[in-house]
Amino acid sequence: MLKIDMHTHIIPKKLPNWTEKFGYGDFIHLIHNSDRTADMMQGGNFFRRIEENSWNEKQRITEYEKFNTQVQVVCTIPVLFSYWANPKDCLELSKFLNDHIAALIQEYPKNYIGLATIPMQDSEVAIKELERAKSIGHVGIQIGSNINDENLSEDKFFPIFEACDRLGMAVLIHPWQMMGFESMEKYWLPWLVGMPAETSRAACSIIFGGILERLPNLRICFSHAGGSFLPTIGRIEHGFNSRPDLVAIDNPINPRDYLGKFWVDCITHDIDALKYILELQGSKRVCLGSDYPFPLGDLDIGKFITESNLDQKVIEDIFSNSTLEWLNLDAKLFDWDIFTLNALK
For residue 40, tell me if it sits in a domain: no
The amino acid at residue 113 is I
Q: For all residues of the chain together, what is the average pLDDT? A: 95
User: At residue 338, does pLDDT exceed 50?
Assistant: no
CB 180 within 8 A of CB 147: no
- The CATH number of the domain holding residue 90 is 3.20.20.140
Q: Which residues pair with 143 in a beta bridge?
A: 173
Task: Tally DSSP H helices, then E strands, for the chain.
Answer: 15, 11
3-state DSSP assignment of residue 75: strand
Distance CA 129, CA 102 (A): 13
| pLDDT of 75 strictly over 50 | yes
Which residues pair with residue 29 across a beta bridge?
41
Sign, CA torsion 223/225/228/233: positive
List all residues 6 or more positions away from 259 whose beta carbon is below 8 Å from its beta carbon: 230, 233, 280, 281
Q: What is the mean pLDDT of residues 252-279?
A: 98
Residue 345 has pLDDT above 50, yes or no: no
Q: Which pLDDT does position 248 carry in this prediction?
A: 97
Number of domains, the chain: 1
pLDDT higher than threshold 90 for residue 278: yes
Element (H, E) at 135: helix 123-135
The residues facing 172 across adjacent strands are 142, 221
- pLDDT value, residue 336: 54
Residue 179 has pLDDT above 70, yes or no: yes
Task: With a cut of 50, say whether residue 274 has pLDDT above it.
Answer: yes
Task: Give which of 102, 99, 100, 137 is closest to 329, Cα–Cα.
Answer: 137
Q: Is residue 210 part of a domain?
A: yes
Predicted pLDDT at 337: 52
User: Is the pLDDT at 30 greater than 90, yes or no?
Assistant: yes
pLDDT in tens, 193-245: 999 999 999 999 999 999 999 999 999 999 999 999 999 999 999 999 999 99
Collapsing DSSP to helix, strand or coil, 210 comes out as: coil
CA distance 170 to 54: 23
CA distance linking residue 268 with residue 172, whole number of Å: 17
In a domain, 175, yes or no: yes
In a domain, 30, yes or no: no
Asked if the model's pLDDT at residue 339 lies above 70, the reply is no
- What pLDDT score does 344 carry? 47
**Is 48 inside a domain boundary?**
no
Looking at residue 334, its pLDDT comes to 87
Sequence-distant (≥ 6) Cβ neighbours of residue 208 within 8 angstroms: 153, 247, 248, 249, 250, 251, 255
* Whether the predicted pLDDT of 265 surpasses 80: yes
CA distance 325 to 172: 14
Query: Is 21 contained in some domain?
Result: no
Domain span including residue 330: 4-14+54-343
Asked whether residue 139 is assigned to any structural domain, the reply reads yes
Strands 112-116 and 28-32: what pairing? unpaired
Mean pLDDT of 54-72: 96
Model confidence band, residue 342 (pLDDT cutoffs 50, 70, 90): very low
Bin 43: left if φ > 0, else alpha if -120 < ψ < 50, else beta.
left
Determine what percent of the chain is predicted with pLDDT higher than 90.
94
pLDDT tens, residue by residue, 308-336:
999 999 999 999 999 999 999 999 998 75
Residue 64 lies in a domain: yes
**Whole-number pLDDT of residue 86:** 98
